[in-house]
Chains A and B, each alone.
Chain A
């Protein structure tokens, strides 16, 4: 492209994050040195057990759990979401067969709900406003004595919007239903407190806070009735049997410890970077818009859309310039439908198709943002010149 070495900018952190070197160091010890099975009796096992329980305490600490045993390790956030919803539905169906969730949840929530509908449960999918925030009045109306579970995400990774969990919790608990919160996208970015915010079940992911992939957790508030996920040797309090993925779990623990220590300063830094990024993109490019809420927003999330053009073409152009981003648009996904989240906030199909998602991380600098902001106007202009949807009078100027 140009004569000098191309700059490489990674801004797709929601899809995948690098693992923090401190986390890798910690994990290595559990591959090479403390390989004992935590269930055994000898000293090798004791070290392994210590590592397991210390990781549990660190994760519990990050979310403000009362007791560390309320945290159960799983293999990923999708597993935690599946388990929370299916497990609560199965164990509490004697009380009622109604579940409430929102239209902008992750597929690992929506598809479990659809499965439960086939099993005879009734599921209400709450609408959201144009920012992606759920309507508390509608929630109140939908809740009945039959409602056993409400599942609302902490924040949406695709549009960045943060939901009013505490208010949701008060409404849900008034009706004695359980509240499940998918905190995957918010992990390590927003300080959360399950006791203060009133959460019964919380889904956590490791890779979303610089931990390894292949490990997640489910917080289960003491007293919450949930069917076990895996039957077997009784690991994880008999709720999820199977030999623990110790290196992964220890890695998640270390990641939680680092997140707790670094989150305050890092989120503040990212907030500034995010706001500058959004402001300059919208200023420099006509017919560009922000997806999601301007202030109730994840620090790493820059979700924007550009009229008359399509997301994947922008992504390919960015990739050619060394920039990794993402789009919720048709062609990138396995289906040709635009993202259900973008449709739920009221975007038309062609608007949704023009969306781009940049998710920032630790290694991103202000220079990275300047680089991308510098590239985007030309990319948009070039694609608009090519698009039959661009209004004639704009073709030259935009």
Chain B
């Protein structure tokens, strides 16, 4: 509830190193994650979400979990970790926490793809 009432890290990062968007408005949830990476660590992370309370709370939680982590560590944050950190979610809401984790992983992939392109 606290993460819904006062969500952390809401917003966007205009010059983000990686951006990941998952979900679609048809099923009621869209989530975008922005990450800023320095020396292989996530130094800043922000999110935007169109979704229910659980979607807001899980987005907020995952940004807290991911901040300061290396990309490898962040990639390992699983769908279950988010729900666990929030003290569990009802089964019908699990897809919200899945989305949050998926959005983060997408953002990391996006970063890695951009890095790969730069190195070439």
Q: CB within 8 Å of B: which residues of A?
A: 308-313, 315-316, 320, 329-332, 334, 336, 338, 348-350, 353, 385-389
Q: How far is the CA of A308 from the CA of B30 in the complex (A)?
A: 11
Q: CB within 8 Å of A: which residues of B?
A: 4-5, 7, 10, 21, 25-32, 48-56, 92-93, 95-96
Given contacts A316-B4, A387-B49, A388-B49, 5 further A-B contacts (CB under 8 A): A334-B92, A336-B27, A349-B26, A389-B25, A389-B50
| Closest B residue to A315 using CB positions | B53
Q: B28 and A387: CB pair below 8 A?
A: no
Q: How far is the CA of A387 from the CA of B25 in the complex (A)?
A: 11
Q: A331 and B25: CB pair below 8 A?
A: no
Say what secondary structure dominates the interface of chain A. Answer: helix
Residues in A with CB closer than 8 Å to B7 are: 386
Answer whether A331 and B92 are a contact pair too, CB < 8 Å, given A312-B53, A349-B25.
yes
Residues in A with CB closer than 8 Å to B31 are: 388
Residues in B with CB closer than 8 Å to A309 are: 50
| Neighbour of A313 across the interface among B48, B51, B95, CB < 8 A | B51
| Closest B residue to A1 using CB positions | B5
Pull 15 A–B residue pairs with CB atoms less than 8 Å apart, ordered by A: A311-B52, A312-B52, A313-B55, A320-B5, A330-B28, A331-B52, A331-B93, A332-B52, A336-B92, A348-B25, A349-B26, A349-B28, A353-B28, A386-B49, A386-B56
Residues in B with CB closer than 8 Å to A316 are: 4, 53
Q: A388 and B30: CB pair below 8 A?
A: yes
Q: How far is the CA of A259 from the CA of B98 in the complex (A)?
A: 49
CB distance from A31 to the nearest CB of B (A): 37
Residues in B with CB closer than 8 Å to A334 are: 92
| Closest A residue to B54 using CB positions | A331
Residues in A with CB closer than 8 Å to B49 are: 386-388
| Neighbour of A349 across the interface among B27, B48, B96, CB < 8 A | B27
Q: How far is the CA of A386 from the CA of B7 in the complex (A)?
A: 10
Residue with the highest number of chain B CB atoms closer than 10 Å, among A313, A336, A338: A313
Residues in B with CB closer than 8 Å to A310 are: 28-29, 50-52, 55
Residues in A with CB closer than 8 Å to B93 are: 331
CB distance from A75 to the nearest CB of B (A): 28
Answer whether A388 and B28 are a contact pair too, CB < 8 Å, given A313-B56, A331-B93.
no
| Closest A residue to B4 using CB positions | A316
- 8 A-B pairs closest in CB distance: A331-B52, A350-B25, A312-B52, A330-B28, A388-B48, A349-B26, A316-B53, A387-B50
